[in-house]
Structure 1
Amino acid sequence: MNAKALILLALQIAIAGTVFTYGLRATYDDLLYIVKRPALLLRSLIAMLVIMPLMVVTCVYFLDLPQPTAVVLLALSVSPVPPLLPQKERKAGGSIAPYGLGLLVVLALVSIITMPLTIAAFNWLFDQPFAVGLTAIIGIVLKMIFAPLAAGIFFSRLMPRVGLRLLRPLRLVATTLLVIGVAALLAGSWRAVWSAIGQSTIVAILVFVLAGFVVGHLLGGPKQEHATVLALATASRHPAIALAVASANYPGEPFAPTLILYLLVCTLMAIPYVKWQRSRRAVYARTS
């Protein structure tokens, strides 16, 4: 196993470990939170699975995008939310919100149906057809979301006190692995990432991320916690699934640098938004 494979394995373990810690604290009411709120569910699906793909199609038509950039953005627009979404929401000033956890599970399920449908629409719009490896997508969803989440829930029911004691150290280990893995991946590919920065590429990525925050925030309201979760979810998509879709269509293309560039831009743009939402929570807490 080479160094790159070890780094990717460490990242997968980190993400799965993070989802396992969600399961240690999750309840069945958390998982059904969004299902019991159909209006919020509908707005979430429209923001993530309708508006964002349409926005990416517009960028592809009107911007002179390199093929890796266009394919990555199209793949991101149909991918579900990343497993780190509830952790991002907690940094914005709240706990692991039931909405964030429920959205994580529901979008993973829905994406199995919506991804082939949306890609069929892309085939109709563009000359070069797209395809999706459904088996690969289901495998990623099961391995990185459902399996660790179910394991965490089962463990917490079997040994609740042990689960609470393990929560903090497991989260620390998962976060450490994630930081080390991302740093190692960036160190090994920073030249390719730098070469992927072209005027149209960086503009398209900025438009995608900014539109995700704006659309998610507006459709997630009026509750602030809902707006925060949906804004982060709409801008942030699952990188592993997006990479699987892109690689399945064009195996020889270098998609990883463009995807890493997207992750960097999304992370940097999330910082001021999270700080803004945290300050709003603090002001509301003082005045209430």
Structure 2
Amino acid sequence: MTLAGVISLALTVSLFVLVFVLGMKAKLEEITFLFRNPGLLIRSILAMNVIMLAVVVLASQLFDLAPAIKIALVTLAVSPVPPLLPGKQIASGGTPHYALGLLVAASIVSIVLVPLSIETMEYAFPVELRIAPSKVLSVVALSIFAPLALGMIVQWLAPNIAERVAKPLSSAATAIVVVAIIPILIKGWPDLSNLFGNGAVLCLVLFSASGLLIGHLIGGPNADDRTVLALACGSRHPSIALAITALNFPGVPGVAALILYHLVISGLVSALYLRWIKPPTQSPSAN
């Protein structure tokens, strides 16, 4: 196996483990939360996949963006929640039932919504676009449904073991993700650097910032729910965006690099957002 294959496998396994850990902590009522709250579900999907997509299409029509930038932004806008996000949402004060419920609900909805959105994009872009529902299903099944279900099974059969191993597994998997993604980002840097003059990085920053703003405004009166939806709108599942790109634009350089660097940029922009909504508390000065 080549080094690239080892890195890809390590990243896939570590992401699988992180969602598996979520499953070991999750409750069934959390997983199904949004399906019992259809109003919040509709509002969440509207913010993530309809309003964000409309913003991207409008920007693509108004500004002379490079083709790679347009493709990357559109594929990100139609993609669901990334597997890493619920842990971050919960750690940032988001409600667990909404964070986990959104991960599951957005993934299920994406099986139909992603192909439908891609076909709709043919009216905005003069190219034939496609992705089969089975392709979306395979990605979300392997990266979300399977590890989440396995984690819940372990929690049900051996709750004490699940409680003991959850934290060390999560720490190890997170470390592997960081180590594995660095060479991928380095490899994609030449393609990304060639797009600097076209405003590629600025577009990724604005994409994440727009998502955070839209999610914050639509998230409702509960501050913790606003945090969950804002982070979900600003961060997307890279594997589905890459799958759409591979099927429709295999010869366009720079798209994959933009999608991968979105992970880093969205993380930085999200950190600024979290600092804004929850500034660090100052310790009282000594008398």
Shorter-normalised TM-score: what interval?
A: over 0.9
1:133 CA drift (Å): 3.6
- Report the equivalent of 1:286: none
Select between 185-194 and 17-26 the one with higher mean Cα deviation.
185-194
TM norm structure 2: 0.93
Alignment of 1:1-288 (within 5 A): 1-94=1-94, 97-254=96-253, 255-279=255-279
1:154 CA drift (Å): 0.4
Gaps of 5+ in 2: 283-287
Whether the 8 Å CA contact 2:76–2:259 is kept in 1: the answer is no
State the Cα deviation string for residues 140-190 of structure 1 (Å, max 9, x = none).
111000000000000110111111111011101110111101122123332
1:275 CA drift (Å): 2.2
1:253 CA drift (Å): 2.2
Question: Aligned letter for 1:144?
Answer: S
Question: Aligned letter for 1:168?
Answer: K
Distance 1:90 1:103 in 2: 12
Give the SS at the match of 2:34: coil
Question: Aligned letter for 1:7?
Answer: I
Distance 1:237 1:140 in 2: 13
State the Cα deviation string for residues 111-144 of structure 1 (Å, max 9, x = none).
0111121112111222112111433221111100
Question: Aligned letter for 1:33?
Answer: F
Whether the 8 Å CA contact 1:85–1:229 is kept in 2: the answer is no
Superposition misfits of 4+ residues, deviation over 4 angstroms: none
Whether the 8 Å CA contact 2:65–2:198 is kept in 1: the answer is no
Distance 1:246 1:138 in 2: 16
Whether the 8 Å CA contact 1:133–1:248 is kept in 2: the answer is no
TM norm structure 1: 0.92
Whether the 8 Å CA contact 2:93–2:227 is kept in 1: the answer is no
Give the SS at the match of 1:198: helix
Question: Aligned letter for 2:60?
Answer: V
State the Cα deviation string for residues 51-102 of structure 1 (Å, max 9, x = none).
01101101111111121111111111110010111111133235x6110000
Whether the 8 Å CA contact 1:217–1:230 is kept in 2: the answer is yes
Q: Report percent identity of matched pairs.
A: 36
Distance 1:215 1:180 in 2: 32
Whether the 8 Å CA contact 1:92–1:274 is kept in 2: the answer is yes
Distance 1:147 1:225 in 2: 27
Change (3 A) 1:197 1:91: farther
Whether the 8 Å CA contact 2:112–2:133 is kept in 1: the answer is no
Question: Aligned letter for 1:63?
Answer: F
Whether the 8 Å CA contact 1:64–1:200 is kept in 2: the answer is no
Select between 270-279 and 107-116 the one with higher mean Cα deviation.
270-279
